[in-house]
Amino acid sequence: MSARVSGNVSRRIQKFDRSAQSFPELIQLHRSLLFSLVVLSVILAQPAQRSVQLSFDGATAMGYLQQQCDFGPRPPGSTNLSSCREYIVSTLGSFGWDVRLQNFTYRGVACANIIARGSPDAANISIVLGAHYDTRPVADQDPDPANRQHPILGANDGASGVAVLLELARVLPVAARQYVELVFFDAEDSGGVNGWEWIVGSTYYVGQLDDERRAGLHAMILLDMVGDSSAQFLRERSSTRTLQDNLWSIAAELGYSSTFIDSFGAYVIDDHTPFLDAGMPAVDIIQNNPFPPYWHTLADTPDKCSASSLERVGSVVEMFVLSSTNETDATPASTTSPLLFYVPLVGLPLIVLVTFLMVRRVRSRETSSFQQ
């Protein structure tokens, strides 16, 4: 009796030992399954990537900047600004845009906003891209007091934003142009001089919009001081957050996070302000907090700017426009990537199959051990 019991106990202990040998395999199985699920989750969590061929060329934009500066300082009402206006109108016309002047007078000075559309009858304008093309009439921030009554050249503060708009005018496809209006604002940069206010041109422009136009505008993007060779753009605090998020997200996708900084800078009164005040979404892409060290000085010259900075800003705006207007060669941010469809379709069954085979193998060994 005792010998039989002892033998049964011995066999059970052997079976237990053999079964226990499978525990590490089960643990390894669980770890493998967990790892596979984690990898799959990470893949599924990746944001959809936009597929688009961008055409913006920074070197070409830099040429537009230089040509504006060749006219010299361009304060409102000056001959230099009139010549620059003719240049901008001519360049836009050569790219096939319909151009008109929005004339107005401020404190006895004849001024004009330049407005460009893809066609004269474009009725679905939802995006306004803007920049000011005038320059400050005094260098009141110049370190040399002797220079403070001279007008600035405005390579970055004025010409850079215009340069980006002109290059966008060249590269945007015809279909996208039906939703876009390019506006070059006059009389932005004379605030505090001889009783002038800031942002006169944009204030006038917004004041002329009817309720239908205001309701149909989904995005106003302002470009101001975007050409500095080491430009970094903090988020301007008054800008519409959702629109800003979209642009900064595009910049991150393009690898420009070191230029479009995901931190907040200052509140800036600029040509986007009248749009915000009228209830329209608007964002200011501007180097701020601090402004460049040569801001409103005679040192604001083309050598401070670079084609690389212009191209980064231009590419972000180009991507935004193409995505927003659903061009055929651009995938909106909300569109699911084909990879995200096939990964779960193939990956999940594969994980289930591998798990089944491994479990079956372990159980087969357990059965074999107990039968012995």
Cα–Cα distance for residue pair 235/222, rounded to 1 Å = 13
The helix (H) or strand (E) run that includes residue 109 is: strand 109-117
Residue range 264-277: average pLDDT? Answer: 98
Burial label for 103, CB within 10 Å (0-12, 13-18, 19+), is exposed
pLDDT band at 248 (very low <50, low <70, confident <90, very high): very high
Any idea of the CA torsion for 305, 309, 311, 315, to the nearest 10 degrees?
-140
Least confident of 88-97, 286-295, 340-349, 355-364: 340-349
Task: Indicate whether 96 pLDDT > 50.
Answer: yes
Task: Indicate whether 225 pLDDT > 70.
Answer: yes
Q: Retrieve residue 86's tokens.
A: 């003719």
Homologous superfamily in CATH for domain 58-324: Zn peptidases (3.40.630.10)
pLDDT band at 326 (very low <50, low <70, confident <90, very high): confident
Predicted TM-score of the model (pTM)? 0.77
Instruction: Give residue limits of the domains in the chain.
Output: 26-48+338-372, 58-324
Percent of the chain at pLDDT > 70 equals 74
Q: Which residue has the higher pLDDT, 354 or 54?
A: 54
User: Residues 118-143, buried b or exposed e (16+ Cβ, 10 A)?
Assistant: beeeeeebebbbbbbbbbbbbbbbbe
Task: Indicate whether 54 pLDDT > 50.
Answer: yes
pLDDT in tens, 107-122: 999 999 999 999 999 8
The helix (H) or strand (E) run that includes residue 30 is: helix 23-45
Report helix angle 338-371 to 2-20, nearest 10: 160
Pair 227, 312: CB distance under 8 Å = no
Starting at the edge strand found earlier in the chain, the sheet holding 282-286 runs 98-106, 109-117, 180-185, 127-132, 219-224, 282-286
Sole residue written with tokens 């002109």: 166
Q: What is the mean pLDDT of the chain?
A: 85
